[in-house]
Structure 1
């Protein structure tokens, strides 16, 4: 630390050192921030609601493949996964930027790409854990994995978690209103436009994930407007592009004293 008349000021970080892709300390701090009491309750709310709904549906309607596919598609994949992704993706870095705590992390000799990649891994893990696992359990409750529906939608939820985590982490870096923007994207684009406007479905993470579910499932009710090869390419491109842009944006943040 150097001291001036204005008080202590973080020194600019020296040459980057340490792990190139994953930093355990950054990961631990990010997990702690994401799984704090308030945010953990938010993360649990939608999975718990999904399980309550599927128990009620199973009790009232019995086992039915069509009902299972419709419910897992319309609630789990179209609503729960993107909303949990908003909480985990923006929460992995947004609060640190908002309250200025990111300055102390950036002052350390850690590559900024390492910071983003580590936080992305944590955001993906949290999103997948709170989405893919409940989706699998919901599918098993509804029809016992008949026609591989439970596994298919669980895999789709995990795949979608990767893209959503990257997209919402990027939003957390580029705007202080990441949660609002993320909610608009999740509810309007993925929830409405991506379902109702044929041309927009090609650019919907939900449709890309559905293509994966369609491949895994043996049920003809699981369909996607995007082919599997195209979906895989778009998932990879969206994830990599969002991650690259987040790294680039974080790299433009300057500490006091940096030239």
Structure 2
């Protein structure tokens, strides 16, 4: 199912100069915020949780997911170069699976690792805050990667739509609007973080069993549908 050649091409596309610059900016901002907050406020578990929840999980992870997920296939479809890959004797489900793995790996690397480091800076992992939010970033990375990979296969405006979703739904509505919170990947991932961290530091509107089911369901459904869309994508001259 995993194709090393497809993976190498996908890593090259996702980590191109322009996208790589954006990928590094968001973690750098998080670490700068963590250093500044620690300098002015000292060690405070509540503030650490607020910073990691308010910026890392609510904003950084979905935005990186947009960049990695759409970037793993969207540009190839936009410029037509996907036809060269589809012409090879490689199953289209294998292409989607490989690109998903690459998107997940990139999203995790640029979101979970900085989240853990920022947590250590903020409060030295007191009350398991750093680990809790790192786990949340890891599981959210999987769902976001699948969602935005699918978006890249169905729309030429995948990046714009993904950014609107990440900034409006996950960052704004998913954080403050009660009804929307239950349909937010952010809240599903926080349900797991809530179980790990000290009592009262992290909250989620979704119970853990339901959150895990929704995370798995969205990931599987998005990956399957992306495979279906790629399967019916016709090459030039196909009839």
1:202 equivalent to 2:182? Answer yes
In the alignment, which of 65, 85, 99 is matched to residue 85 of structure 1? 65
Q: Does the Cα contact within 8 Å between 1:136 and 1:154 map onto a contact in 2? A: yes
Matched with 1:155 is 135
Is 1:149–1:219's contact at 8 Å kept on the other side of the alignment? no
1:257 correspondence with 2:223: no
Residue of structure 2 equivalent to 1:227: 207
What is the deviation of 1:37?
A: 1.7
Q: Which moved more, 1:27-36 or 1:77-86?
A: 27-36
Q: Alignment partner of 1:38: what SS?
A: helix
Higher helix share: 2
Distance 2:236 2:44 in 1: 61
Gaps of 5+ in 2: none
Match of 1:239 among 219, 223, 231: 219
**2-structure distance, mates of 1:155, 1:256:** 44
Aligned-pair CA distance for 1:219: 3.7
Q: Say which of 49, 57, 61 aligns to 1:69.
A: 49
SS in structure 1 at match of 2:70: helix
Partner residue, 1:107: 87
**What are the equivalent positions in structure 2 for 1:28-177 lying under 5 Å apart?**
28-177=8-157
Residue 90 of structure 1 contacts residue 171 of structure 1 at CA under 8 Å; is this kept in 2? yes
**Please, what is the CA RMSD of the aligned residues?**
0.7
The alpha-carbon deviation at position 81 of structure 1 amounts to: 0.2
State the Cα distance separating 1:256 from its structure 2 match.
2.2
TM-superposed CA distance for 1:148, in Å, is 0.4
Q: How many residues matched?
A: 239
Q: Please, which moves more after superposition, 34-43 or 147-156? A: 34-43
CA contact (8 A) 1:135 1:153 kept: yes
Moved over 6 A (4+): none
**What runs of 5+ residues in structure 1 fail to find an aligned partner?**
1-20
Q: Distance in 2 between matches of 1:159 and 1:58?
A: 27
TM-score (norm 2): 0.98
